[in-house]
């Protein structure tokens, strides 16, 4: 199984490459004196026929001889070829205006393969950007829902904080009432103790103040 799979990998690109090298075109105009041929092309990959692309073609399929040329310029539906060996080309191949020609071009294949590699890179970039786009779209789509969730969450927190604030204020109010009651009780007890201290005061001496004594004697 492994060997057969390996063989398929080797053979398949060859088959694909052969199909990519070939195309057909119709001879549109002939200027043998300046070695120029103009062909009309009409196939999807014609856009990869760029100036400088080397091609080979023949109109007489029974002959193995191929005319060789280089694309000088290209329009939407036409290619202009420079054919160096125009004399041999016209000798072995029919160059009548309007005739169909079979083309083969290794450069065309290279251009297409290079473009395929570019497409792979672009597809990878596209997938990465598409993934980011989906994530952003999901965030945008869920924006209202996320805002609602945020409001609910912070409303809950605000309610909880308000409840805790009210509980703290009630606790402080209760503490204040208790402190006022304790202040009154302690003040009353302090006054009572001060009264008793005054009542039971002991003086440092038992002698009578002379001035008081004199004043008392005069009164008697």
Rounded to whole angstroms, the Cα distance separating 83 from 18 reads: 23
Q: Are residues 169 and 94 in the same domain?
A: no
Rounded-to-10 torsion of CA 17, 18, 20, 21: 120
**How many residues does the structure list for the chain?**
220
Same domain, 146 and 102: no
58 DSSP β-pair partners: 102
Where among 113, 131, 164 does a domain terminate?
113
98/27 same-domain check:
yes
Beta partners for 71? 81
Q: Is 214 within the bounds of a domain?
A: no
Count of helices and strands (H, E) across the chain: 5, 6
Rounded distance, CA 57 to CA 154, Å?
A: 77
Q: Give the chain's domain count.
A: 2
102 and 175 assigned to the same domain: no
**Residue 25 shares a structural domain with residue 77:** yes
pTM of the model: 0.57
Please choose, from the candidates 37, 47, 36, 40, the residue with its C-alpha nearest in 3D space to the C-alpha of residue 25: 40
Domain containing 98 equals 16-113
Quick check: is 39 in a domain?
A: yes
Asked if residue 29 belongs to a domain, the reply is: yes
Q: Is residue 205 part of a domain?
A: no
Instruction: Based on the fold, state whether residues 158 and 98 are members of the same structural domain.
Output: no
Specify whether the CB–CB gap between 58 and 93 falls below 8 A: yes
Task: Kindly state whether residues 102 and 159 are assigned to the same domain.
Answer: no
- 91 and 149 share a domain? no
Instruction: Clarify whether residues 51 and 106 are in a common domain.
Output: yes
CATH number where 48 lies:
2.40.30.20
pLDDT score of 12: 37
Q: Is residue 62 one of the residues assigned to a domain?
A: yes
pLDDT in tens, 2-32: 433 333 333 334 344 558 889 999 999 999 9
A 10 A CB-CB count for 74 gives: 17
Nearest to 67 by CA among 25, 15, 20: 25
For residue range 140-165, list pLDDT tens digits in order: 999 999 899 999 999 999 999 999 99
Angle at 27 between CA 44 and CA 19, to 5 degrees: 35
147 and 104 in one domain?
A: no
Determine the pLDDT at residue 55: 97
**Spatial distance between the Cα atoms of 180 and 174, rounded to a whole number of angstroms:** 10
7-11, 108-112, 113-117: least confidently modelled range: 7-11
Q: Please name the residues in contact with 96: beta carbons below 8 A apart, sequence gap of 6 or more.
A: 27
Same domain, 103 and 35: yes
**Domain shared by 63 and 148, yes or no:** no
């Amino acid at each position: 199984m492994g060997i057969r799979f390996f063989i398929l990998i080797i053979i398949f690109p060859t088959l694909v490459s052969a199909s990519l090298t070939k195309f057909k075109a119709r001879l549109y105009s002939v200027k043998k004196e300046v070695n120029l041929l103009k062909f009309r092309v009409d196939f999807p990959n014609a856009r990869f026929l760029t100036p400088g692309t080397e091609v080979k073609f023949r109109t007489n399929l029974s002959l193995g001889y191929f005319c060789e040329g280089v694309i000088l310029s290209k329009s939407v539906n036409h290619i202009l070829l420079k054919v160096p060996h125009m004399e041999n080309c016209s000798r072995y191949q029919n160059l009548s205006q309007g005739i169909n020609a079979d083309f083969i071009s290794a450069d065309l294949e290279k251009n297409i393969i290079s473009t395929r590699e570019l497409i792979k890179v672009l597809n990878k970039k596209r997938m990465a950007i598409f993934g980011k786009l989906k994530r952003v779209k999901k965030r945008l789509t869920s924006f209202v829902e996320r805002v609602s969730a945020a409001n609910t969450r912070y409303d809950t927190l605000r309610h909880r904080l308000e409840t805790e604030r009210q509980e703290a204020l009630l606790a402080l109010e209760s503490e204040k009432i208790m402190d006022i009651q304790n202040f009154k009780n302690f003040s009353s007890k302090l006054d009572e103790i001060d009264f008793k201290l005054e009542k039971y005061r002991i003086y440092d001496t038992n002698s009578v103040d002379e001035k008081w004594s004199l004043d008392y004697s005069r009164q008697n």
